[in-house]
Amino acid sequence: MAEIITMPKLGFDMAEGTLMRWVKAEGETVQKGEVLAEIETDKATVEVESAFSGIVHRHLVEEGAIVPVGSPITVIAAPGEEVKETLVTGSLQQERAVAQPATTEPREASATTSGAAALSEKEKSLLRASPLARRMARENQLELEKIEGSGPEGRIVRRDIEQALKAEGQKLAVTESSSLGLPPLPALAGEKFVSAAGDQRVPINRLRAAIGRRMVESKQALPHFYVTQDYDMEKVMGLRQQINALLVEDEKLSVNDFIIKAVALGLRQFPNLNASLVGNEIVRHGAVNIGVAVAVEGGLLTVVVRNADLKPLRLISREVKELVGRARQGKVRPEDIEGSTFSISNLGMFDVEHFIAIINPPEAAILAVGAVKLVPAVMDGEVKPRMRMKTTLSADHRVTDGAEAAQFLQALGRYLEEPLLLLI
């Protein structure tokens, strides 16, 4: 039996996605669990697997189209199966219904229809137009039934809409920003911007716009406060060296692996920092899922190490390597980037000593980690060279207070300055 694949919901705040690429073309065989398409969300490009095995009968959405969550995108059929056209047309009508909110005006009943209503010329035009062409027609207020299609079997495609607009002397309303489905970023008050020779204008991509929107929302809505602490890292660096001497190159531990484990154990003691504010309640999360900020092309992505407090250092290290690799290759899965309860942003590899991070909602806190540096420090009344590291905790004052944040950083210091505790 033919099955309809719909645009999946890949995040709690996802309303739509851009179908970037069909991995399986029409007529190709696909197995359950195989990658069917690549979907771009506000956060990343995600590989979407097929929930069924069969033949890709027909794609209902073209590459580059913006599709609402739950809208049909393709039809999977059994080999040799005759797919009823009503299934395809019904799916297309459902996609149109999801994409366009219903009007409040009642539709007049047709005196000539009984049972299943006959399709009007307008509906037929909608069904034989590509998703991109339908959206362009809607944005430019064109009537599809008056446009002749040049695609396969008379299908209306983008070039037909562009030609129709040219004939009417209109300017194409689909701009770079609207094709991304993104509102323009708010302008700042001040002097009028003046362009100068040599300036380069670079369009904001979907990921960068999403980062900007979320960070503005975070700074405006969350009352941030900051607590900074530095730690003696001599024992961590020594233990890491001992452990790595026993491991092959691709299994060696990083300093960040120790920090992830130490943070996770510290959060168990201070659950208000592993929490979210939902309505009038503080939700203390049962799992400690650590988000790790990763620099990727075009922006920043947070991958998630789940139940980090329960995992040994070696497993944390392996998972982080795999997650970072998929993130930088653009092959993350939905579960790789959703569900973090606390985040860590580490710029130590760039020799940054100190910085402040913005909280990633709906989390209540984030830890900014600087480089481990050899600095003069007073030990037993003497100035000695020591490996030290500075961190800054950003926290939501609606959920926690300075004293609790300071106690958390003290607990973190206990694990980092006595790292054998991370092994038991």
Residues annotated catalytic, as ranges: 397
Candidates 155, 169, 164; CA nearest to 136 is: 164
Q: Helix, strand, coil shares of the chain as percentages rounded to 5?
A: 35, 25, 40
Q: Rounded to an integer, what distance in angstroms lies between the CA atom of residue 110 and that of residue 81?
A: 34
Tokens of 399: 């959920």
Helices (H), 289-401: 313-329, 334-337
Q: At 247, which amino acid appears?
A: L
Q: Rounded to an integer, what distance in angstroms lies between the CA atom of residue 215 and that of residue 281?
A: 23
Tokens of 110: 């047709």
Q: Rounded to an integer, what distance in angstroms lies between the CA atom of residue 415 and that of residue 5?
A: 48
Candidates 210, 270, 297; CA nearest to 406 is: 270
Tokens of 362: 């709906």
Q: Which of helix, strand or coil describes residue 345?
A: strand
- Residue 218: CB atoms within 10 A of its CB come to 19
Strand ranges (E), 164-274: 224-232
Give the burial string for 328-343 (b: 16+ CB within 10 Å, else e).
Answer: eebebebebbbebbbb
Q: Rounded to an integer, what distance in angstroms lies between the CA atom of residue 36 and that of residue 42?
A: 20
Q: Which of helix, strand or coil describes residue 92?
A: helix
